[in-house]
Structure formats: C-alpha cells, structure tokens
Amino acid sequence: RSKAVEIDCQRPPRLVDPAQCCKDGGRDQTVEACAQRMGLASQRGNGPPTVEAATCFAECILKQLQYMQEPEKINYEAMRKHLQTKFSNDTIYVNTMLQAYQKCEPSVQQKMQILKQTPLGGGAAALRRGCSPFSGMLLGCTYMEYFKNCPAHRWNENEQCALAKQFVTKCSFNA
C-alpha cells in the first residue's frame, strides 16, 4: 500500500521514465523505420526533436501500422488485428490499448476542430510541414490513458511509479 501523498499539479514529482513503470509494446521495426525517415534516429545527443518532427513521426507510425488509412480517423479493425497478432498471448494489453485509443480519439478530434479555427494556432507550423498534429496528440493522450490503466502484469510497483501514476491520474490535462 502506498501512503497518501498530497499531489500538487503545479509541481510534478521527480521525472521517472514511464516505460520503467508500465511496460509498453516496446520499439519495433515500424518505430525504428519512422525514426530513420524523420532523421530522429541519429539525433540522440541533440536534445528532443522539434514539434514538427515529433508530429510527423507520430503520423508515420500510425500510417505505417495502417491504424490511420484516412486523415485523422483511426481504423480500429486494422488496429485490433495488428495488436492481436503481435500480442496474441496478452489480450489484456490489447484491450487496454484499444480502450485508450477509443477514449482519446473523440477528444483529439474536438481539439483539432478548435485548432483548425485558430488562425496561427500551435498546430500551424506542423500543418505547414504537411503533418497534422492529430497523430501526435492522439499518441500522447493514448499513452497517458494506457499509463493510468496499466495492466497489473505490466506495472512495476515502486514509490516513484506510484507517485507518477497518482500525478497523471489527478493532473492529466490532455485526455
């Protein structure tokens, strides 16, 4: 049992790598191929990628996996098939991921409507480069949802992870 800690949304706990707390699907050939294509693979020591690069990277992943066959719309049939094939021995993971995407997609689509009506909104630069912010926003939201609902067998229980989960659950702004 973790002791009750007062969570202050203005002051996040010490950063912990989410993948150390909640094991995800890992990096695969698709992620690596998209990283190469976006020039992110060689960037390791140069700090985080630009918003545009990250946005196009997210779009590349969703398109390569055929999760997104038309702009800003997820194909759940293709996603379910892919996840069930890749994680055939882990239906809990598959269902948790599908639920995360299904929870996030409508709110991300609403945000996109607002963004498209904002003349020089934050998404303008990414849209100029030809990538919609939709994919990046969707992956960000989905990962947060997955983290909040991490299957027990993929969760690493320790104090730092418990704090991170409490913070994300109480303070997540993008879901």
What's the pLDDT at 8? 86
Single pTM value for the model: 0.83
What's the pLDDT at 86? 95
Cα-based distances in Å from 167 to 86, 101, 144, 151: 31, 21, 11, 18
Domains (ranges, CATH) in the chain?
Answer: 23-171 (1.10.238.270)
Roughly how many angstroms between the first and final C-alpha of the chain, as a whole number?
Answer: 27
What's the pLDDT at 41? 67
10-residue mean pLDDT series, the chain (175 residues): 69 82 87 86 63 86 94 95 96 97 95 78 56 91 94 94 90 62
Which one, of 56, 64, 72, lies nearest residue 128 by Cα?
56
